[in-house]
């Protein structure tokens, strides 16, 4: 499913086409795609919010598949091994960020489904060192959303410096938040969920959140840390005010609406911190997938066919999905 001319997803900008099977180059593996999660970033690619970098692109960066061919020099994986391919396709390895173990900030990074053809297809190629071995305890469809929503949620947990037993607030409870929630439960944290209601409120209740309320309500106890998953800048002051002294608020989204003016004493004094989250490093992915297999993390998914990619993105845009959409490919 290819995007040639981005536009409103209601106009079905993804087109079904037949392409030649890609060939892996040196350091690359050919992956037979078995499942690919549907992410909001794919919607940004389809609609043109992320400016096109090529005349056509295959979206998709939550890829679960098996190694079908090894490019020259590849020894990390064996043929037939199940692997995951995520958003970060490659980095330059030589810039100051890469050499300081902050490759997620690399200005020369290239991304799956935006710079490089992704997983809305039967085949894709990946840099061997940027693909992930996958835990055997989780099925393909449940694994796919972990490769973006799950890893980013875990990156947000790290940015907020959350430790086992902490008191944590989650603002918004969509695809990424409900995966991060399972990590926090596993760490025996007290978790308060702030959500507007509807399906997300019911899911938080089913999963065992200690307290559920609106963002405007003060939580039952001061927060050691908080994560803002909703792309709503107007929630930042309330989340900062709910923090205990020395608490950290991490903003997990790639987009955030305008943050209102902050009052220094109410929102930031006593060494409270506001931090952003930008993509993820390979270390984040490796740590999270290992942890996800131990828990094991469970995702709420809706399986759809590859040819229904436009429909899946329409449902995502209009909040009509019960869980994350996953395209079955092979």
Which letter does DSSP use for residue 266 in this model?
Answer: I
Q: Is residue 270 part of a domain?
A: yes
Q: Is residue 286 part of a domain?
A: no
Q: How many domains does the chain have?
A: 2
Say yes or no: 161 and 134 in one domain: no
Say yes or no: 237 and 307 in one domain: no
| pLDDT at residue 227 in the model | 98
Which letter does DSSP use for residue 139 in this model?
Answer: -
Write out pLDDT tens, residues 170-228.
Answer: 999 988 999 999 999 999 999 999 998 777 888 899 999 999 999 989 999 999 999 99
Q: Is residue 23 part of a domain?
A: yes
Write out pLDDT tens, residues 300-325.
Answer: 899 999 999 999 999 999 888 867 89
End-to-end CA distance of the chain: 14
- C-beta separation of 20 from 2 below 8 A: no
Say yes or no: 263 and 315 in one domain: no
Count the neighbouring beta carbons within 10 Å of the beta carbon of residue 39: 28
Where residue 213 sits, what CATH number does that domain have?
3.40.50.720
Say yes or no: 157 and 258 in one domain: yes
pTM of the full predicted structure? 0.92
Say yes or no: 130 and 15 in one domain: yes
Would you say residue 17 has pLDDT above 90?
yes
Cis peptide before 296 (omega within 30 of 0): yes
Where residue 62 sits, what CATH number does that domain have?
3.90.180.10
Separation in Å, CA 196 to CA 71, 88, 96, 171, 175 = 49, 32, 41, 9, 15
Say yes or no: 306 and 271 in one domain: no
Which residue segment(s) compose the domain that 319 sits in?
Answer: 2-138+298-328
Q: Is residue 146 part of a domain?
A: no
Q: Is residue 288 part of a domain?
A: no
For 128-160, b/e burial (b = at least 16 CB within 10 A) is bebbbebbeebebbbbbbbbbbbbbbbbbbbbb
Say yes or no: 127 and 155 in one domain: no
């Amino acid at each position: 499913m290819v995007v040639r001319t981005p536009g409103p997803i209601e106009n079905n900008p993804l087109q079904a086409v037949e392409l030649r099977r890609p060939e892996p180059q040196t350091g690359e593996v050919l992956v037979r795609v078995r499942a690919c999660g549907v992410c909001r970033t794919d919607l940004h690619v389809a609609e043109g919010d992320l400016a096109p970098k090529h005349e056509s692109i295959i979206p998709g960066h939550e890829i679960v598949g098996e190694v079908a061919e090894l490019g020259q020099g590849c020894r990390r994986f064996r043929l037939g091994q199940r692997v995951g391919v995520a958003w970060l396709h490659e980095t330059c390895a030589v810039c100051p960020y890469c050499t300081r173990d902050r490759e997620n900030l690399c200005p020369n990074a290239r991304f799956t489904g935006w710079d490089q053809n992704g997983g809305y297809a039967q085949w894709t190629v990946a840099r061997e060192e940027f693909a992930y071995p996958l835990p055997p305890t989780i099925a393909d469809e449940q694994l796919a959303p972990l490769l973006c929503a799950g890893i980013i949620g875990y990156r947000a947990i790290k940015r907020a410096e959350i430790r086992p037993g902490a008191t944590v607030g989650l603002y918004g409870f969509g695809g990424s938040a409900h995966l991060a929630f399972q990590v926090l439960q596993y760490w025996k944290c007290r978790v308060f969920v702030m959500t507007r209601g509807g399906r997300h409120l019911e899911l938080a209740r089913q999963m065992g959140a200690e307290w559920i309320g609106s963002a405007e309500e003060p939580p039952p106890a001061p927060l050691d840390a908080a994560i803002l998953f909703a792309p709503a800048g107007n929630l930042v002051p309330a989340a900062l005010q709910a923090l205990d002294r020395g608490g950290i608020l991490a903003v997990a989204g790639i987009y955030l609406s305008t943050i209102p003016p902050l009052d220094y004493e109410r929102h930031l004094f006593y060494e409270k911190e506001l931090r952003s989250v930008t993509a993820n490093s390979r270390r984040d992915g490796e740590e999270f997938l290992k942890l996800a297999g131990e828990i094991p993390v469970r995702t709420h998914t809706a399986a759809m066919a590859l040819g229904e990619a436009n429909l899946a993105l329409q449902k995502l845009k209009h909040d009509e999905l019960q869980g994350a959409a996953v395209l079955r490919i092979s």
